[in-house]
Amino acid sequence: MRLKILKKILIILLIFIYSFCTFAEYEGITDEEKERILNSQSAIEKITNQKKKVQSTIENLKKLTDDTKKYIEELDNTLLTLTDELNNTLVLIDLKQIDIDNTNIVLEETKEKEEKQYSDMKLRIKFFYEKNDSSILESIIVGNNIEDILTKAEYIQSITDYDRLKLNELIDTKNQIIIYENQLEREKAELLLLKETEIAQKTSIEDLIAEKTLELEDMNNKINTSTAELKKLQAEQRKQEAEIEAIERAILARGNSNRILSGGLIWPCPSSKRITSNFGKRTAPRKGASTYHQGIDIGADVGSTAIAAAAGEVVISTYSYSAGNYIMINHGSGIFTIYMHLNKRSVEVGAEVSQGQKIGEVGSTGYSTGPHLHFGIRKNGVYVNPLTFVG
């Protein structure tokens, strides 16, 4: 009976000892960091600051509104800078998410390791107290406090080196768990900050495009009453088309024996199938615009990927204030595809591209009042309906 009581006391003591082992202090993020991250005011301030930055840019650009061409070019350059900043943020978000995923994996593995170590320790404790050696038990419980018990030579001699090693390993594992939890919380906080930045940057881009739309509407009114402005816009469009036709004629004159289109064309904007303007006759969306649309407009968000409809050679990659950033690809067999109003061009003249390869990003550059991809197809020197080639 006395031995059973001693065994129960031993269990309590060992658990008590285990619970009082020194573990790494969990600091987490500071209260200041938590307040900054969790308080939505942080995101509001970022958006407000971005709006001020954009408003300042707009005020400067308004000084150029008397020169339509210069205004559009400068605004498009600003949009490109903002979207580059956004793309960098999105890359950082992806990398941070990878960090979080990796930390979660390591954390779960460490927790499984701790559970096994704790289970093994319990078996060791059970084995120890079930031994019928009351002298060991008595030597352990004699003492005024835990520190006294741990310092007794009798106790040190009774616990094997193996038991002490395993206990220390368990303590280390629990410390690692706290460290990984600490790391995970910091990484999540950093991800939240990046996402706040992303929202602020997207808001800036939307504001700038909205301002551009308003300004272009105002410019349209000026063009309606200004023959000079109308002639300037039409001259730019003729120059652009002349360049396209000249390059196309030169290529067709060489013959197409070295390049043959095979396998058909694919849709150039994977993220959107929304057509905002069809090919063919239409009411001119603005003074000076064509009443015969030479392609289709695909509505999509700024930064959406534009891909090559088929393999071919990039024969034009440039900027025009009417078409914005635009690209033309020679696919052979007399087929050329054209991609206009891109926010960013990813390929240069002479590049060989494969079908489905990213060639740029959807935007609203040039004389455009909203994010979209203008997609055109020329066959043997004539614009044709893209929907007869892609569905």
Q: For 284-311, write each residue's pLDDT tens digit.
A: 555 545 566 788 999 998 889 999 999 9
283 in a domain, yes or no?
Answer: yes
CATH number of domain containing 365: 2.70.70.10
pLDDT of residue 164: 72
Segment of 77-81, 129-133, 278-282 carrying the highest mean pLDDT = 77-81
Q: Are both 264 and 375 inside the same structural domain? A: yes
Same domain, 213 and 260: no
CA dihedral (42, 45, 51, 55) positive or negative: negative
Task: Give the burial string for 309-342 (b: 16+ CB within 10 Å, else e).
Answer: bbbbbbbbbeebbbbbbbbbbbbbebbbbbbbbb
Same domain assignment for residues 275 and 192 = no
Clarify whether residues 102 and 180 are in a common domain.
yes
The two structure tokens encoding residue 100: 């979080």
Does 207 have pLDDT greater than 70? yes
Q: How confident is the model at residue 25 (pLDDT cuts 50, 70, 90)?
A: very low
At 38, the pLDDT band (50, 70, 90 cuts) reads very low
Q: Which of 11-25, 284-298, 327-341 has the lowest mean pLDDT?
A: 11-25
pLDDT digit string, tens, across residues 347-359: 999 999 999 999 9
Range of the domain at 369: 256-388
Burial of 114 (0-12, 13-18, 19+ CB in 10 A): middle
Q: Are residues 82 and 201 in the same domain?
A: yes
In a domain, 242, yes or no: no
Per the model's pLDDT, the better-predicted residue between 1 and 204 turns out to be 204
CA neighbor of 179 nearest in space, from 386, 23, 7, 361: 23
Flag whether pLDDT at 18 surpasses 90: no
Whether 49 and 98 map to the same domain: the answer is: yes
In DSSP terms, 324 is beta-bridged to: 320
pLDDT of 212 over the 60 cut: yes
Both 267 and 211 in a single domain? Answer: no
Please check whether residues 189 and 321 belong to one and the same domain.
no
Summarize pLDDT for 60-87 with one digit per residue, the tens.
655 555 566 777 777 788 888 888 888 8
- For the cut 50, the answer to whether the pLDDT of residue 28 exceeds it is no
- Total structural domains within the chain: 2
Res 277: pLDDT: 86
User: Residue 168: in which H helix or E strand, if any?
Assistant: helix 161-225
CA separation for the pair 58, 75 (Å, rounded): 8
Q: Please indicate, yes or no, whether the overall pTM of this predicted structure exceeds 0.75.
A: no
DSSP state of 349: T
Do residue 156 and residue 303 come from a single domain? Answer: no
The answer to whether residues 262 and 335 belong to one domain is yes
Q: What angle do CA 293, 298, 302 make, to 5 degrees?
A: 125
d(CA 174, CA 128): 23
Identify whether 81 is part of a domain.
yes
| Amino acid 329: pLDDT | 95
Judge contact between 373 and 306, C-beta under 8 A.
Answer: yes
Token pair, residue 104, equals 């979660």
Q: What pLDDT, on the 0 to 100 scale, is given for residue 376?
A: 94
